[in-house]
Amino acid sequence: MLALFLWVHLILVSSILISQDAMRWVAKTMELAFLTEDGSGFPVIVSLIAAAIFALFVIHTVLACRKLPSSFIQWRKLRQQMQIVDHGDTRFWLVQAITGIVILFLLPPHLFVMLTQPDSIGPVKSSIRIYEQGFWLLYLPLLVAAEIHAAVGLYRVWLKWNLIPVNSPHFRPRLATVKNVLSCVFIIIGCAALVRYIQIGMASV
């Protein structure tokens, strides 16, 4: 669910690639601006969404951390085991673990801004935050880690629960290819949007 939300979120944020008006419309729609006469909306809705995502993030992190090695010795044994059993899905698990740790440190600052400054979302305000306040240094690695983490997570869930039974030896590598393509596509879109925000930020200061 978090992976799907992440992709929807990226698509909405990337509306800046269409135009500033498109991004402004997305932001105001999220705030239910159409329900107010002056179009100011309810920025608190953004805070509520951020709080809900943070709660899900904490739950997801707690559950995921239970599967991680809890000591250096366990990490060393895991590395030895991976050298013995050189399997692609095992490497995917390690990639998901590493990207998860990166997200653990980078996502809270982003959610904190959304929680405490919900009215700072918009084509200009977001651009100034990204460029002038240097948030692109946070968002770039977060983007890469989150997109890889989400794609690997959906890949592993698909195989674990056998969502669509397919009796073919070629299905797993094809699914892995789809995973890689999705990661690349969303990272490219996200980077393009980030560049556009930086351009707007540079022109606004």
Of 75 and 138, the structure prediction assigns the larger pLDDT to 138
What integer pLDDT is reported at residue 86 of this predicted model? 67
State how far the Cα of 193 lies from the Cα of 184, in Å rounded to an integer. 14
158 confidence band (pLDDT: 50, 70, 90): confident
Asked whether the predicted pLDDT for residue 132 surpasses 70, the reply is yes
Q: Is 87 annotated as a binding residue?
A: no
What integer pLDDT is reported at residue 23 of this predicted model? 96
Asked whether the predicted pLDDT for residue 87 surpasses 70, the reply is no
Q: Is 60 annotated as a binding residue?
A: yes
State how far the Cα of 205 lies from the Cα of 200, in Å rounded to an integer. 9
Q: Say which CATH architecture domain 2-204 belongs to.
A: Up-down Bundle (1.20)
State how far the Cα of 141 lies from the Cα of 121, in Å rounded to an integer. 20
How far is residue 24 from each of residues 126, 143, 197, measured CA to CA in Å?
A: 10, 21, 13
Residue whose C-alpha is closest to residue 80's, from 99, 67, 65, 94: 94
How many CB atoms lie under 10 A from the CB of residue 142? Answer: 19
127 confidence band (pLDDT: 50, 70, 90): very high
- Arithmetic mean of pLDDT, 195-199: 97
Asked whether the predicted pLDDT for residue 66 surpasses 90, the reply is no
State how far the Cα of 44 lies from the Cα of 113, in Å rounded to an integer. 12
Q: Is 149 annotated as a binding residue?
A: yes
Highest-scoring range by mean pLDDT, 59-73, 154-168, 176-190:
176-190
**34 within 8 A of 27, measured Cβ to Cβ:** no
- Arithmetic mean of pLDDT, 148-162: 87
Asked whether the predicted pLDDT for residue 161 surpasses 90, the reply is no
- Arithmetic mean of pLDDT, 154-159: 86
What integer pLDDT is reported at residue 123 of this predicted model? 95
**185 within 8 A of 151, measured Cβ to Cβ:** no
- Report the b/e string of 43-70 with b at 16+ CB within 10 A: beebbebbeebbeebeeeeeeeeeeeee
What integer pLDDT is reported at residue 39 of this predicted model? 83
Please tell me whether residue 19 adopts helix, strand or coil conformation: coil
Write out pLDDT tens, residues 103-115: 999 999 999 999 9
What integer pLDDT is reported at residue 64 of this predicted model? 86
Report DSSP letters for 148-199, one per residue. HHHHHHHHHHHHHHTSS----TTHHHHHHHHHHHHHHHHHHHHHHHHHHHHH
How far is residue 54 from each of residues 39, 47, 88, 111, 113, measured CA to CA in Å?
A: 28, 10, 31, 7, 12
Q: Which residues have CB under 8 Å from 196's CB, separation 6+? A: 16, 17
